[in-house]
Structure 1
Amino acid sequence: MSIQLSLLMLVVLHASSADSSCPGINNGEFEDLTNLMRKITCQSGGISEKPAFLATLTPREVALTSGSVVKFDSILTNIGNGYNANSGVFTAPRKGTYQFAVSFVSGHRNNEWLELTLAKNNNRLVRGHAALDPFASGSLQATLALEKGDRISIIQPRPSGHVLAADNGYTDVVDVLLEFNAGADTETIKGMTPLHFAATNGHDEVVMTIIKNGAYIDAQNFQGNTPLHLTTLGNFRHIIEILIQANCDINIANNRQQTAIHVAVENGFQESVEVLLAGGANLSRREKLGKTPLQLASRGSFVAIVDMIIKAERYYAVTREYMEQELDYVDPHQYLRTPKHPSSTQMKDILWKLATKQLKPGDWKKLAVHWKFTSDHIRCIEHQYTGTNSHREHGFRLLMIWLHGVRKDENVIKLLFEALVAIDRRGLAEQMRGKSEARSPKVCMGKMCAMC
């Protein structure tokens, strides 16, 4: 929406002064007192003339966004210095009755209603419109009783039609307006585009329509949030998938230095975290307070999310190597929750017994170091407290995260045997191997056998 030519004019019809009659004072005495007061006002720098100003727009065409103040930058007259061209605001220098008149012409590419509103102290009072045509003219007038210090401005009060349609999920309306060249990236005063509104409210069809019409997918609003940030805040997993498939930048940070995965983790949105992890979200990025996504998950006691992030950090590259498809096209739920090893179902029972009945309290940390878990991984697993036997839960979580990263062609029992020997638990290692050999006919799976 743009404005081609505009003129703002003020004429003061009446400014308050003393009454022309006063009990106990004759007219001559009153006139003498009035003249004396005027002299004192002039000598002290006060206002001796009625305020008035005339201002126009210098640029040939000015783009307007919702809530923006029209700044008439070329001042032709400014008696009383009440009008500020930098802010576009007139401040009443004294109490009185003021008359305002505004005329305007829409831009040459105008394809929607141009509306301007006169506001007093940010309260909208009078509206003027220009028709849905290029170079359409409009005007507004107002006569107002103002107190000293009251502020008058001219603003563009409403978002454009397709922004409203996107906000409310009207796919057909958005489609028609975009077809008639309504800007796909039109912004409100807060930098919100139609795509921001559609993503915020979970309107997936509108999101796809706007993207199809060439919208800038990574536009940032006044808080630095992209459509991906806002749809993540709403936990709209399906729209996150749409935006990732449309090649949005998944790692853009907002004003709090948070990427979309920081937002998802901070709110405990497990499904959104899954999709963002599978899409390749950067897990080393720190937000404004210096926290990584893993540390945010730990602070929020989101145990499942902590485990998912550790899995992604440790095994993302490995998983890409032996999966037949690119990770971007793998179901995130399957990738992050289900180990890929053929014997994972049988191993779950073995690992549960190992963690809860056979490992000593400090053994799980030794295994973590042997398997090259980071100190941050260990701290975040240990953050969960379930009582004096918390080490059992910690140990089982560690073992399951480790199992998740074992390749399909690796011998799980052999790897576990080697790890137990490395932490000086050879007796337990031999015991486990002996039992597994006795059970091997039941779990043998050919080349992928966990026990052979």
Structure 2
Amino acid sequence: MPVLAFIMEDLEDVALDHADKLGRTAFHRAAEHGQLDALDFLVGSGCDHSVKDKDGNTALHLAASQGHMDVLQRLVDIGLDLEEQNTEGLTALHAAAEGIHADCVVFLLSAGSNVNALTQKGLSCFHYAARSGSEDMSRALVKAGGRTDVADKGTTPMHLAVKHNFPGLVQLLIEAHSDLDAMDIRQQTPLHLAAEHAWQDVAEMLLIAGADLSLRDKQGKTALAVAARSNHISLVDMIIKADRFYRWEKDHLSCRDDSDLSRKNLTFKQDHRQETQQLRSVLWRLASRYLRPNEWKKLAYSWQFTEAHVCAIEQQWTGTRSYQEHGHRMLLIWLHGVATAGKNPSKALFEDLMAIGRRDLAESTRKMANGEPTAPRRCTVM
């Protein structure tokens, strides 16, 4: 620090706490740029530790925002106020979180910073962590007792994690018991946002965690309706599967497997399992070749698909043969349900085709599902 020493010793008219146009002194600048030696020299020379710049930032804010851990530690040691707020209401902890400096966040929490302090806009440190997707910061905030449901105009950290598609953070917030059904300013839940943006991984996490599928946004739309409106076919089918699963589970509480409380084996995504490949092939042939235009709906209603389910399926694909695609999707959704319920899908399909008056189709479908040869087609000369 020979230059600083020269200035202080030989230029008597230099003010130690002189501020620049931003209101920052040499002490601010040393903290901002991580110059620990300069900071120590200024402290030893008697500078003002608590001075603020024009935005209300102390040296602690500036060091935290830039991630200068050694400077931050020194400033805490000399007694700077951890809870001092700038003009926007940010504490040093907010500044560290906004700058995505997880190590500084952990240090400030250990030093006693208020984990639930709010800015003037009602933002918590969790909001900043969720914006960046930092799992390390979020984990530290949870461990320190941070509230996960503080809302900024209705927007919770969960909304932000879903909106920006951070699956790891969404899972962390779920495990921290965040409110899955909180509504933002548009009355959208996190699931509405996942449906709007077609984030399948995030949506499945929310569905498995038990997000309420009946909630409506300001336009009166459920998450299913939002997904259907946006033509997110896979997500529409996932939500219908989830809705049917929870309706079934509610009616069969005694059938629930208590050994799978985490529902680790539950999925609502498209089925690609080898063991269902033959039956899925049969369902495709059934839908594309044999079912008549309105018969898929007859089956759907007999299988307790709701009007909303059917409408959501019909919203994608149009034209005279669109019923084939609609029927195929409905059959795959149904297959998920019967598999989850532990039923024999071939037997159930046979019985329900009989119920809608398609005895011939029921028998041929049973044979196809069992790998038996069906009657050969006759070649007709026109």
TM-score, normalised by the number of residues in structure 2: 0.72
Question: Structure 2: which 5+ residue stretches go unaligned?
Answer: 1-48, 61-74, 374-382
Amino acid at match of 2:363: E
Q: Do the aligned residues in 1 keep the contact of 2:127 with 2:156 (CA within 8 Å)?
A: yes
| 1:30-429 alignment runs, 5 A limit | 115=52, 117=54, 133=79, 156-157=87-88, 159-221=90-152, 223-316=153-246, 318=248, 321-323=255-257, 325-326=259-260, 328-330=262-264, 335-337=267-269, 343-407=275-339, 409-429=342-362
Greater helix fraction, Structure 1 or Structure 2:
2
Q: Do the aligned residues in 1 keep the contact of 2:204 with 2:269 (CA within 8 Å)?
A: no
Compared with structure 1, are the counterparts of its residues 438 and 287 closer, same or farther at alpha carbon in structure 2 (3 Å cutoff)?
Answer: closer
Amino acid at match of 1:200: R
Larger radius of gyration: 1
**Residues 423-448 of structure 1: per-residue CA shift (max 9 Å, x gap):** 221221122234445639xxxxxxxx
Compared with structure 1, are the counterparts of its residues 185 and 127 closer, same or farther at alpha carbon in structure 2 (3 Å cutoff)?
Answer: closer
d(CA) in 2 for partners of 1:203 and 1:240?
11
Per chain length, whose mean CA-contact separation is higher, i.e. which structure has more relative contact order (CA < 8 Å, sep 6+)? 1
Q: Do the aligned residues in 1 keep the contact of 2:50 with 2:80 (CA within 8 Å)?
A: no
Q: Do the aligned residues in 2 keep the contact of 1:264 with 1:272 (CA within 8 Å)?
A: yes
Compared with structure 1, are the counterparts of its residues 327 and 410 closer, same or farther at alpha carbon in structure 2 (3 Å cutoff)?
Answer: same
Q: Do the aligned residues in 1 keep the contact of 2:282 with 2:369 (CA within 8 Å)?
A: no
d(CA) in 1 for partners of 2:146 and 2:57?
31
Compared with structure 1, are the counterparts of its residues 317 and 385 closer, same or farther at alpha carbon in structure 2 (3 Å cutoff)?
Answer: closer
What secondary structure, in the 3-state scheme, does the structure 2 residue paired with 1:232 have? Answer: helix
Question: Structure 1: which 5+ residue stretches go unaligned?
Answer: 1-111, 118-123, 136-154, 441-452
Q: Do the aligned residues in 2 keep the contact of 1:338 with 1:404 (CA within 8 Å)?
A: no
d(CA) in 1 for partners of 2:57 and 2:209?
48
d(CA) in 1 for partners of 2:51 and 2:191?
39
Q: Tell me what 2:372 maps to.
A: 439
Compared with structure 1, are the counterparts of its residues 385 and 409 closer, same or farther at alpha carbon in structure 2 (3 Å cutoff)?
Answer: closer
d(CA) in 1 for partners of 2:168 and 2:138?
11
**Residues 284-331 of structure 1: per-residue CA shift (max 9 Å, x gap):** 011111110000000111000000000000013646845564454416
Amino acid at match of 1:248: S
Amino acid at match of 1:182: S
Compared with structure 1, are the counterparts of its residues 271 and 114 closer, same or farther at alpha carbon in structure 2 (3 Å cutoff)?
Answer: farther
What secondary structure, in the 3-state scheme, does the structure 1 residue paired with 2:52 have? Answer: strand
Q: Do the aligned residues in 1 keep the contact of 2:89 with 2:120 (CA within 8 Å)?
A: no
Amino acid at match of 2:322: S
d(CA) in 1 for partners of 2:264 and 2:272?
12
Say which is worse superposed, 234-243 or 264-273, in terms of deviation. Answer: 264-273
Amino acid at match of 2:52: E
Amino acid at match of 2:290: Q
Q: Do the aligned residues in 2 keep the contact of 1:351 with 1:396 (CA within 8 Å)?
A: yes
TM-score, normalised by the number of residues in structure 1: 0.61
Count how many residue pairs are aligned between Structure 1 and Structure 2. Answer: 302
Aligned-residue offset at 1:168: 2.3
Aligned-CA RMSD value: 3.0
d(CA) in 2 for partners of 1:218 and 1:371?
38
Compared with structure 1, are the counterparts of its residues 116 and 378 closer, same or farther at alpha carbon in structure 2 (3 Å cutoff)?
Answer: same
d(CA) in 1 for partners of 2:106 and 2:80?
22
Aligned-residue offset at 1:115: 3.3
Amino acid at match of 1:432: T
d(CA) in 1 for partners of 2:314 and 2:261?
29
Compared with structure 1, are the counterparts of its residues 224 and 428 closer, same or farther at alpha carbon in structure 2 (3 Å cutoff)?
Answer: same
Provide the identity percentage: 36
Compared with structure 1, are the counterparts of its residues 188 and 113 closer, same or farther at alpha carbon in structure 2 (3 Å cutoff)?
Answer: farther
Q: Do the aligned residues in 2 keep the contact of 1:365 with 1:378 (CA within 8 Å)?
A: yes
Compared with structure 1, are the counterparts of its residues 278 and 409 closer, same or farther at alpha carbon in structure 2 (3 Å cutoff)?
Answer: closer
What secondary structure, in the 3-state scheme, does the structure 2 residue paired with 1:418 have? Answer: helix
Q: Do the aligned residues in 2 keep the contact of 1:115 with 1:129 (CA within 8 Å)?
A: yes
**Residues 102-129 of structure 1: per-residue CA shift (max 9 Å, x gap):** xxxxxxxxxx967374xxxxxx7x9899
Q: Do the aligned residues in 1 keep the contact of 2:116 with 2:124 (CA within 8 Å)?
A: yes
Aligned-residue offset at 1:210: 0.9
What secondary structure, in the 3-state scheme, does the structure 2 residue paired with 1:295 have? Answer: helix
d(CA) in 2 for partners of 1:114 and 1:217?
33
d(CA) in 2 for partners of 1:437 and 1:245?
43
Compared with structure 1, are the counterparts of its residues 237 and 127 closer, same or farther at alpha carbon in structure 2 (3 Å cutoff)?
Answer: closer
Amino acid at match of 1:304: S
Compared with structure 1, are the counterparts of its residues 438 and 164 closer, same or farther at alpha carbon in structure 2 (3 Å cutoff)?
Answer: closer
Q: Do the aligned residues in 1 keep the contact of 2:286 with 2:365 (CA within 8 Å)?
A: no
Amino acid at match of 2:124: T
Q: Do the aligned residues in 2 keep the contact of 1:204 with 1:239 (CA within 8 Å)?
A: yes
d(CA) in 2 for partners of 1:438 and 1:129?
76
Amino acid at match of 2:160: L
d(CA) in 1 for partners of 2:335 and 2:277?
11
Compared with structure 1, are the counterparts of its residues 325 and 227 closer, same or farther at alpha carbon in structure 2 (3 Å cutoff)?
Answer: farther
Q: Do the aligned residues in 2 keep the contact of 1:258 with 1:288 (CA within 8 Å)?
A: yes
Compared with structure 1, are the counterparts of its residues 425 and 189 closer, same or farther at alpha carbon in structure 2 (3 Å cutoff)?
Answer: same
Q: Do the aligned residues in 1 keep the contact of 2:287 with 2:327 (CA within 8 Å)?
A: yes
